Amino acid sequence: MNDTYVWGAYDNQWPEFLPDYGTTPGSRGILPAFGNAAGKYFLQQSSWPYNTSNKEVTYNLFHMHGDAFSTVYSEIPQNLTVSHNPILYAGVTSFDVSANEGAFIALTVNGEIIGTAEATGAPVSISIPGQLPPDQVIVTITKQNYYRYTAVLDVIPPDGPYVVKDSFTINDIAGGNGDGMMDYGESNLLNLTVKNVGVEQADNVVVTIGTTDGYITITDDNENYGDIVAGATALVEDGFSYDVADDIPDMHNVAFEVTATSGSETWSSYISITAHAPVLEYVDFSIIDPSGNNNGKLDPGETVDILVNCENEGSSEAFNLIADLLASDTYITINTSQVNYGDLAVGEVYGGVFSVTADEDTPAGHMVDFTFDVAADMGITGSGMFTIVVGQIPVLILNLDGGTSATKMAQALDVTEISYETLSSFPADLNLYSSIFVNLGIYPGHVLSSSEGNLLADFMNNGGSLYMEGGDTWAYDNQTAAHDMFNINGVADGTSDMGTVQGQPGTFTEGMSFSYSGDNSYMDHLEPTGDAFMILKNQSPAYGTGVAYDGGTYKTIGAAHDFGGLDDATFPSTREELMHQYLVFFGLMQGGTLNADFEADETDICVNGDVTFNDLTFGSPTSWSWTFEGGTPETSNEQNPTVTYATVGIYDVTLEVGDGTNTSTISKADYITVSTAPETPETPEGDDEACTNYGLQYEYTVANVTGADTYEWTVLPSDAGTFSGNGTTGTIEWTENYTGAVTIQVMAMNDCGDSELSTAFDVVCSV
């Protein structure tokens, strides 16, 4: 199979290999990406391999990673022979290059191609648009089995002065957030450096900026830069200013034209500044229902908390987010419809909690559409939609093979009194179900297609549990996205040798043993990978036939036998008990196992703060014994107690649960952190004399205070200047020409409160 593919791939790149066959796509040299495609076409039309049913595996096996037109070497590469001018004059519209015949020549400026040609060995004239200083033209030449050639040409004026932009920085300390970038809603000062790239001095240069961008309002557009000698740069600090619209899109590029004039001479160049703004996006949701049946779903008659995550995917912080949750459905009541999300930094995700109640008469499988709207300061908004299925049907038996397993599964489910549906084809929406039992049958059974596998993978990614059985699906049939999520390795195609199927010690099948009388042909041999574990094995010859896996957000059971072929014996070796254990593993029924677990509504609190602990134990506990280090009360027997912490520290929490027969204990070390307001900072340090006749900036510092998150700097009298910065360094911009004695103080702050102001530091201001 692979050899046939290689013949086609090789012939595409070296057509003399099989000249009588031709190639699709057409040969165009040694390009592995096209050779890869040709190999697959060649394999598709060929009947040479005996196992033609496995062609699709080969199609999916070979890939070309990288640029389809990458030049690769098939022999030792040589150097190209290239000739061209070392510079390009401004305004010239052609450029001559000589290179080896057949080489490809490309001319680029600022990442854009301005001209191309195929070399002939003689000079080739390439038409290009006229270029302006100080741009540079990159000459790149490639040819099969030759080293790449690259040269950089300066664009220069033929005579006289020529003044263009050189560089720029942004000053947004006073009118923005001080990060030196153009953010939404800011007023920026622009420090623009220009350069005379000509060969003579430019006299009395006046620079003007302009833009047609509707998101920018220029408030100061020109400055006199004086005389600029050839090759020199000039800068006017904070020479230009503009306002940025509140609704400017994130990463929007604003083009400014820079026009320099000197007498009758005028030169134009351009700068581009990238805007930064928040982008608020709905991420996902989760359902928290510890006061209900704790299955992470919204069930009829249940009140749950829906945690809705919102992310700032933009490049600037969003402030004062308010989110609303909406649903127009007669069965749904939104108890908490609006939540304050606070500020959201770049890349930060925050989850707000909304309380929602489903009417007890809500039909099973009823779908509710929710709309999530969020708004922040300066008109920043975002939205999203999600659907919740209320009262999912616990089980779908998907009988794709038509064998007897579906009937036996239904009989076992009837005893458990778990509701279920049976279908012979995929329904329109798999998310109506909590779990799916897929029957693929034994050879020749149903082969799961790629599209069917994608549907099942999506179902698991949405939190569904999946059982799938098939004699050939694990080792012989093509694998799908769903197979990958089972953590099962099909190690052999097997034969007709399944006899006694045994449960495995330490798993939920321990003590079970079944005689197997079902279809028995090419039974796949299974082994678990990763965190999956074996639950059923054939006794002789020994091989795995059932594997379970807990993926955290989903669970799977994969089997290579028919459930209906397992013969009932004495308890626990019955199909009814096996189904019961499957349902317990999937979280659809309670079993005899207890696994203690809990979570706190807050783990970082302030002194005298309260914490509510929620029991998340798997199983059916009837007693709870809590121990709270550093808390009041120190112990509790409530299921969901509330505890007060009065002393700063980091504390452990322990929970032991019991059901009258079994117990389970969990301890979480250093789980609760209790903090208090920071201590008063030391006296600030810095210059005790300040010169204010130019409105200069001075920095003052203070030693870090343990537990402080931010600092607030103050100056008295307040009209003496303005502080910026919220760290241990504060920068004050003195009011121009202010004179007299002033004091500087600083306060440390965190979520638990503010410190007292530090001892004042005295400064004398003079002109």
Q: How far apart are CA 469 and CA 565, in angstroms?
A: 12
pLDDT (average), residues 683-692 = 94
| pLDDT tops 70 at residue 52 | no
524 vs 235: CA distance, rounded Å: 76
pLDDT given at position 11: 85
Angle formed by the axes of helices 32-45 and 2-13, nearest 10°: 130
User: Comparing C-alpha atoms, which of 6, 3, 4 is closest to residue 47?
Assistant: 4
Residue 66 burial by CB count (10 A; 0-12/13-18/19+): exposed, middle or buried? exposed
Question: Mean pLDDT over residues 112-127, rounded?
Answer: 92
Tokens representing 375? 């708004």
Q: Which whole number is the average pLDDT over 54-59? A: 71
Residue type, 678: P
What's the rounded mean pLDDT across residues 625-650? 95
pLDDT at 592: 57
- Which of 7, 45, 1, 38 shows the shortest CA–CA distance to 23? 38
504 and 510 Cβ atoms separated by less than 8 Å: yes
Q: Which of 551, 564, 355, 372 is nearest to 464 (CA)?
A: 551
Answer yes or no: are the C-beta atoms of 268 and 258 closer than 8 Å: yes
User: How high is the pLDDT of residue 591?
Assistant: 64
Sign of CA dihedral 718, 719, 725, 731: negative
Sign of CA dihedral 32, 33, 38, 41: positive
Token reading at 506: 């330490």
| pLDDT of 545 strictly over 80 | yes
Q: How confident is the model at residue 482 (pLDDT cuts 50, 70, 90)?
A: very high
Separation between Cα atoms, residue 368 and residue 462, nearest integer Å: 16
| Confidence band for 13, pLDDT divided at 50, 70 and 90 | confident
127: which strand partners? 94
Contact in structure between 400 and 355 (CB atoms under 8 Å): no
* pLDDT above 80 (res 45): no
Phi, psi of 432 (to 5 degrees): -75, -10
Torsion of CA 615, 617, 619, 622, to 10 degrees: -40
- pLDDT-based confidence at 28, cuts 50/70/90? confident
pLDDT band of 593, cuts 50, 70, 90 = low
CB-facing half-sphere around the CA of 593: CA atoms within 13 A? 14
pLDDT digits (tens, 9 = 90+) for 712-738: 999 999 999 999 999 999 999 999 999
- Residue 165 burial (C-beta neighbours within 10 Å; 0-12, 13-18, 19+): buried
Mean pLDDT of 41-63: 70
Q: Which of 303-307, 519-523, 571-575, 648-652 has the lowest mean pLDDT?
A: 519-523
Rounded Cα distance, 423 and 419, in Å: 14
Side-chain half-sphere exposure of 549, counting CA atoms within 13 A? 26
Nearest one of 7, 2, 1 to 42, comparing CA atoms: 7
Q: Residues 209, 211, 216, CA angle at the centre, nearest 5°?
A: 110
The DSSP output letter for 720 is G
Predicted confidence band of residue 276 (pLDDT cuts 50, 70, 90) = very high
Mean pLDDT of 288-315: 89
Using CB atoms within 10 A of its CB, is residue 111 exposed (0-12), middle (13-18) or buried (19+)? Answer: exposed
pLDDT at residue number 337: 94
| CA triple 706-712-714, angle to 5 deg | 130
For 83, 84, 596, 729, 737, the CA distances from 688, given in Å and listed in that order, are 66, 64, 62, 16, 16
- Residue (of 166, 97, 150, 154) closest to 125 by Cα position: 97
Query: What is the pLDDT averaged over residues 632-638?
Result: 96
Secondary structure (3-state) at 520? coil
**Measuring CA to CA, which residue among 505, 504, 457, 503 is closest to residue 484?**
457
Token couple for 709: 């998150």
Query: What domains are defined for the chain?
Result: 2-61 (no CATH), 83-156 (2.60.40.10), 163-276 (2.60.40.10), 280-390 (2.60.40.10), 393-585 (3.40.50.880), 598-675 (2.60.40.10), 689-766 (2.60.40)
Residue 24: the pLDDT is 80
pLDDT at 272 over 60: yes
Asked whether the beta carbons of 450 and 57 are under 8 A apart, the reply is no
Residue 57 CA, distance from chain mean position: 30
Confidence of residue 226 (pLDDT cuts 50, 70, 90): very high
| Planar angle of CA 532, 533, 535, nearest 5 degrees | 135
Q: Which residue has the higher pLDDT, 59 or 618?
A: 59
The verdict on whether omega for the bond into residue 363 sits within 30 degrees of 0, i.e. cis, is: no
Least confident stretch, 224-233, 497-506, 632-641, 719-728: 497-506
Tokens encoding 686: 């810095």
**Residue 619 banded pLDDT, cuts 50, 70, 90:** low
State how far the alpha carbon of 493 is from the alpha carbons of 439, 502, 520, 711, in Å. Answer: 18, 20, 12, 68
Indicate if the pLDDT at residue 476 is higher than 90. no
Question: Half-sphere exposure of residue 278, counting CA atoms within 13 Å on the CB side?
Answer: 27
| CA–CA gap between residue 185 and residue 243 (Å, rounded) | 7
Is the model's pLDDT at 30 over the cut of 90? Answer: no
Residue 53: its pLDDT value, please?
60
* Residue showing tokens 């925050």: 350
For 394-452, the three-class secondary structure string (H helix, E strand, C coil) is EEEEEECCCCCHHHHHHHHHHHHCCCEEEECCCCCCHHHEEEEEEECCCCCCCCCCHHH
Query: Is 266 in contact with 164 (CB distance < 8 Å)?
Result: no
Which of the 8 DSSP states describes residue 5? H
Q: Are strands 689-691 and 761-766 parallel, antiparallel or unpaired?
A: parallel
Query: Cα–Cα–Cα angle for 285, 291, 297, nearest 5°?
Result: 35
C-alpha to C-alpha distance for 716 and 736, rounded to whole angstroms: 16
Top pLDDT among 4 and 638 is at 638
Q: Which of 132, 56, 50 is nearest to 88 (CA)?
A: 132
> What band does 292 get if pLDDT is binned at 50, 70 and 90?
confident
d(CA 393, CA 524): 31
- pLDDT per position as a tens digit, 342-360: 999 999 999 999 999 999 8
Digit-coded pLDDT (tens) for 120-177? 888 899 999 988 888 899 999 999 899 999 999 988 887 889 898 889 999 999 999 9
Dist CA 205 CA 194 (whole Å): 10
Task: Dump the DSSP string for 119-140.
Answer: --SS-EEEE-----TT-EEEEE
User: How many Å apart are CA 7 and CA 401, to the nearest integer?
Assistant: 38
Q: Report the C-alpha gap between 558 and 466 in whole angstroms.
A: 8
